[in-house]
């Protein structure tokens, strides 16, 4: 998973060992063309577009430390701390049907940067399912495949077709004291599978 951040309307050239699973520009999937060199792919972007690239299919439905990405980013979407180090400190837990991820409390400099969490979810293999985000963290922005969404209240749901991949991004806002941008992000969710209609 590669969140590329805002771009300026030029062609984007991706270097990767294999073709990406999906590329989203402002939440809309785009198909890349072969690049000028081996193992490169190119695609166009809109002015100030948000680009999100899924390099591999997640091996399981729920995100874990092998598939998620935790970052500390500035206003331009650039990392100010090593993302792999931030990801390694994320805790994963489950209680009954509710699962959760929690980033660590940031300590030290870079108070101008914001915590950000990217979590990929995969739909069930043979049925449409609903992902419910519960107890949404306060003072955060939520996006799906790079497209901002505006949940109303503390719960928000997203329907996934069979085998579909959706990346949920949570970014901490600059609220109150600047240092609050380093407060942990806790993302909680559960799956809801529709009950088949009774046969008359």
Whether the per-residue pLDDT at 199 is higher than 70: the answer is: no
Binned at pLDDT 50, 70 and 90, residue 2 comes out as low
- For the chain, what is the mean pLDDT? 83
pLDDT of residue 3: 64
Whether the per-residue pLDDT at 117 is higher than 50: the answer is: yes
Shared-domain flag, residues 110 and 27: no
Give the mean pLDDT of 2-16: 73
- Domain region containing 108: 69-192
Which CATH number fits the domain that encloses residue 81?
2.60.40
Residue 61 lies in a domain: no
Give the mean pLDDT of 17-31: 91
- The residue with greater pLDDT, 158 or 137, is 158
Whether the per-residue pLDDT at 136 is higher than 90: the answer is: no
Which H, E and C letters describe the chain, residue by residue?
CEEEEEEECCEEEEECCCCCCEEEECCEEECCEECCCCCEEEEECCEEEEEEEECCCCCCCCCCCCCCEEEEECCCCCECCCHHHHHHCCEEEEECCEEEEECCCCCCCCCCCEEEEEEEEECCCCCCEEEEEECCCCCEEEEECCEEECCCCCCEEEEECCCCEEEEEEEECCCCCHHHHHCCCEEEEEEECCCCCCCC
- The residue with greater pLDDT, 66 or 177, is 66
Region of poorest pLDDT, from 52-56, 61-65, 133-137, 174-178: 174-178
Output the CA–CA distances (angstroms, integers) from residue 156 to 59, 86, 147, 152, 166, in the order listed.
24, 26, 15, 7, 14
C-alpha 113, offset from chain centre = 18
Shared-domain flag, residues 109 and 178: yes
How many Cβ atoms from other residues are within 10 Å of residue 56's Cβ? 13
Can you give the pTM of this predicted structure? 0.83
Evaluate the CA torsion angle 90, 96, 97, 98 in order and state its sign.
negative
With CA atoms as reference, report the closest residue to 56 among 9, 146, 120. Answer: 120
Query: Taking a C-beta distance cutoff of 8 angstroms, is the pair 17, 125 a contact?
Result: no
pLDDT of residue 176: 52
Binned at pLDDT 50, 70 and 90, residue 50 comes out as confident
Shared-domain flag, residues 184 and 134: yes
Q: How many residues does the chain have?
A: 200
Over residues 80-96, the pLDDT tens digits come to 777 888 888 898 898 88
pLDDT of residue 150: 84
Which pair of structure tokens corresponds to residue 6?
A: 């805002």
Which pair of structure tokens corresponds to residue 3?
A: 């969140």
Shared-domain flag, residues 47 and 73: no
Which pair of structure tokens corresponds to residue 128?
A: 């449409």
Shared-domain flag, residues 20 and 79: no
Looking at the 3D structure of the chain, how many domains does it have?
2
């Amino acid at each position: 998973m590669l969140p590329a951040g805002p771009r300026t309307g030029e062609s984007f050239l991706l270097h990767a060992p294999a073709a990406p699973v999906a590329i989203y520009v402002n939440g809309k999937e785009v198909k890349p063309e072969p690049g000028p060199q081996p193992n490169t792919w190119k695609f166009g972007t809109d002015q100030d577009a948000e680009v999100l690239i899924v390099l591999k299919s997640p091996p399981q439905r729920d995100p874990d430390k092998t598939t998620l990405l935790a970052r500390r980013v500035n206003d331009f979407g650039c990392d100010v701390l090593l993302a792999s180090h931030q990801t390694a400190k994320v805790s994963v837990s489950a209680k009954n049907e509710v699962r959760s991820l929690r980033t660590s409390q940031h300590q030290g400099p870079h108070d101008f940067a914001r915590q950000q969490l990217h979590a990929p979810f995969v739909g069930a293999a043979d049925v449409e399912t609903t992902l419910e985000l519960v107890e949404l963290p306060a003072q955060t922005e939520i996006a799906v495949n790079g497209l901002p969404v505006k949940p109303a209240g503390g719960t928000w749901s997203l329907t996934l077709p069979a085998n579909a991949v959706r990346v949920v991004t949570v970014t901490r806002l600059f609220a109150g004291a600047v240092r609050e941008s380093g407060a942990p992000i806790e993302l909680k969710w559960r799956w809801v599978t529709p009950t088949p209609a009774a046969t008359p």
